[in-house]
Amino acid sequence: MATKKRNGIIIPMQLKGNEIVEDLFKEISEEDIIEKNISINDELLINCSHELKTPLNIIYGAAQMIELSARNISDDNLTNYVNSIKNNCFRLTKYINHILDLTAIEAGEYKLNLERVNIVEVVEYVVQKIAPRIKEMGLNILFDTNVEEKYVIIDSELFGKSILNIISNAVKFSKQGGTILVEFTDYKTNIEIKIEDNGIGIDTKYLEKIFHRFGQVDKSLSRGSEGSGIGLKLAKAIIELHGGKVSAESKLNEGSTFSVKIPLGNKDTIHSLYKNDDVKVIDYDTINQLVHIEFSDIFNIS
Ligand code: ADP
C-alpha cells in the first residue's frame, strides 16, 4: 500500500480501488500518537477513518450482492441487504454527526434549539423503544422515575444524543443477562438522569479519561462493541452546554453509573432565562430517527 511519512509516522495515501484494506492504519500505535505528538486534527482523522471503514465495507458488500443477484433474489434476502445498507448509512451518519457537533460546540458555534419539553416522557419513550431489542440481546432495561412529568428547557435532539450515547455504552459494556437501569429524579431545583449497568465496569485509573477524546479504556475489551471514542466527550460537551454536569462511578467487573444533572433553580441557567411558556409536542419521528442512528453500531431497529 502506498504510504508517506510525516513527522516520522507512516500515513496511508489512499484506498486502492475497492480493496478492503484491513491494516490501513496499523503502523500508528497509541504510543506513537502520544510520543510523536500528532495534532488533534490528525488524531480525529485517524480514529474516525478507522470507524468509517467497517460500515463502508459492509455497504459496499451489500451493494455488490444486490447488484449480482438483482434478477433472481428472494424478497427476504433483498430486505436484509437493504436493511444492512440503511443501518450502515446510519452508522456513518452517527460518526460524522458526532464530529460535526463536537467541532461546532468546541468552536462556540453551536446554536441551541431550545424548547420546553416533558423530559420524563422523552426518556421513557426511548427506553420503551429500545427495550425489545435489548431483550433479544439477553439484557434487561428498566425505567424508573419519581414524577410523571417534568418540563425542562433543552435542545431535545442534541440533549437526546448525549443520553442515548450513555445508554448505548451501558448496553455495549453489559454482560450477558445484565440489567440497565435508567432513573429519573426530580429534585425541584435540579434534575438527575442516572444510567446504571452491572457490566464490565471501568478501572478507576481510566475513569477520568473516558470523557476525553478517544478515551477508550482497553481496545481489546471494547472491540466487541466498536466506537469512535468521542461519544462521551460529546455527551459531556452537550450536557455542559445545557449548564449541567456529567459524572461516572464504576467498579471493575461490577458495573458503572453515569449521572447527568441539570440545574433548574439558579439564576442565569437556561431554564430561568427562557421566557417562552409554549410546550413542545414531542416529535416521535425525530426521536425514532435519533435512536436508529445512535444505536446503529449495536443493533438494527427496523
Ligand atoms: P466509544 O464510542 O468508544 O464507546 P465513548 O466516548 O462513548 O466512546 O466511551 C469511551 C470509553 O469509555 C469506552 O470505549 C469504554 O472503554 C468506556 N465506557 C464508557 N461507558 C462504559 C460503561 N457503561 N461500562 C464500561 N466502560 C464504559
| Domain extents in the chain | 1-111, 115-294
pLDDT at position 141 is 98
Helix (H, G, I), strand (E, B) or coil at 283: coil
Q: Is 230 helix (H, G, I), strand (E, B) or coil?
A: coil
How far apart (Å, rounded) are the C-alpha atoms in residues 182 and 180? 7
Q: Whose CA is nearest to atom 4 of ligand 1?
A: 227
Distance 59 CA to ligand 1 centre (A): 25
Helix residue ranges, H only, the chain:
30-35, 40-69, 75-106, 119-136, 156-172, 204-207, 219-222, 231-241, 270-273, 284-294
More confident residue, 227 or 163: 163
| Mean pLDDT within 30-58 | 66
Looking at this protein, which amino acid is placed at residue 99? I
User: Phi/psi at 35 (nearest 5 deg)?
Assistant: -65, -45
Q: Whose CA is nearest to atom 19 of ligand 1?
A: 169
Give me the mean pLDDT over the 227-233 stretch. 82
Residue to mutate (ligand 1; options 210, 294, 298; most atoms within 8 A of CB): 210
Distance 216 CA to ligand 1 centre (A): 6
Cell of 143: 425505567
> Rounded mean pLDDT of 85-110?
87
Considering 5-19, 103-117, 164-178, 255-269, the range whose residues carry the highest mean pLDDT is 164-178
Q: What is the pTM for the complete model shown?
A: 0.80
Cβ < 6 Å from ligand 1: which residues?
165, 169-170, 173, 197, 199-202, 210, 215-217, 222, 227-233, 256
Tell me the CA–centroid distance for residue 169 and ligand 1, in Å: 6
For domain 115-294, give the CATH superfamily.
Histidine kinase-like ATPase, C-terminal domain (3.30.565.10)
Determine the pLDDT at residue 39. 58
Which residue lies with its CA nearest to atom 11 of ligand 1?
216
How far does the centroid of ligand 1 lie from the alpha carbon of residue 118, in Å?
28
The whole-number pLDDT of residue 214 equals: 64
Tell me the pLDDT of the chain averaged across its residues.
80
Least-confidence region, from 36-50, 81-95, 162-176: 36-50
pLDDT at 218: 57
Distances (CA, A) of 168 to 17, 19, 249, 283: 34, 31, 17, 21
Is the pLDDT at 98 greater than 60, yes or no?
yes
DSSP one-letter code for 227: -
